[in-house]
Amino acid sequence: MKKLEHKIALITGGAAGIGYATAERFLEEGATVIIWDINEEAGAKAIESLNAPKGRSAFQKVDVSDYEAVKSAVDSIIAEFGSVDILVNNAGITMDRTLLKMDPATWQKVIDINLTGVFNCTRVCAEHMAEKGSGVVLNASSVVGIYGNFGQTNYVAAKAGLIGMTKTWAKELGKKGIRVNAVAPGFIATEMVKKMPENVVAGINGKTPLGRLGTPEDIANAYLFLASDDAAFITGITLSVDGGLTI
């Protein structure tokens, strides 16, 4: 039997990168996957590219920072598919500035999507999960949420906040049958990272014990493990998937 057979998975920011790789992996393991993304064109292309069996994938354009939009979209998933068994809070943005160059709007935009957006999605989905007595919530943190990073006050604050929320929600929701965990990726070979100067990438590889960037598939496999019954007694953790960068 496949690891996610008969499960309904919602993946935010699922049109590209880690989110898309996770959608692919979950589909391979039998899940029905709903992708959310703010980019409607990218979302439509992602669904077409996934080439999932009929009825096993769908796309919705959703701004996770808008609570009412999130609630409406989740309600429509429940109406069509019956439940949300797995929520992967993957959506996020970066707007990097050093503290003395960061204006309040730049701070707030990243917090709204990367932190408040996770609250919005989890608040709505957890209510449905609690009603049926089971569910899995997976939050996309980052190694920078553990050790900080120059020029990323807003991003680091959000990713560190997710680690704290993961622990809190694990304590609150465990008795309702809901497991909550986070994954903290290191530097992953997404399009954004690939655009970095070669010497910067080489420097990162030199600091990483495994000597390479991670792949979106590396993170997708971590999400798969935590979403599956293989991790049935794991909750409240932040799993670093970083090639040893934070050792």
The answer to whether 53 and 29 are in contact (CB under 8 A) is no
6: left (phi over 0), alpha (psi -120 to 50) or beta: left
> Encoding tokens for residue 41?
């064109």
Of the candidates 20, 67, 147, 155, the residue annotated as catalytic is 155
Active site residue 155: yes
- DSSP reduced 3-state for 76: helix
CA distances from 206 to 26, 96, 210, 245 (A): 32, 23, 9, 10
> Encoding tokens for residue 230?
């293989």
Distance separating alpha carbons of residues 168 and 162, to the nearest angstrom: 10
Distance separating alpha carbons of residues 194 and 197, to the nearest angstrom: 8
The answer to whether 121 and 164 are in contact (CB under 8 A) is no
> Encoding tokens for residue 32?
């029905």
Distance separating alpha carbons of residues 217 and 167, to the nearest angstrom: 25
Question: Which residues 6+ apart lie within 8 Å of 195 measured at CB?
Answer: none
The answer to whether 213 and 245 are in contact (CB under 8 A) is no
Q: How many CB atoms lie within 10 A of CB 210?
A: 12
Active site residues: 155
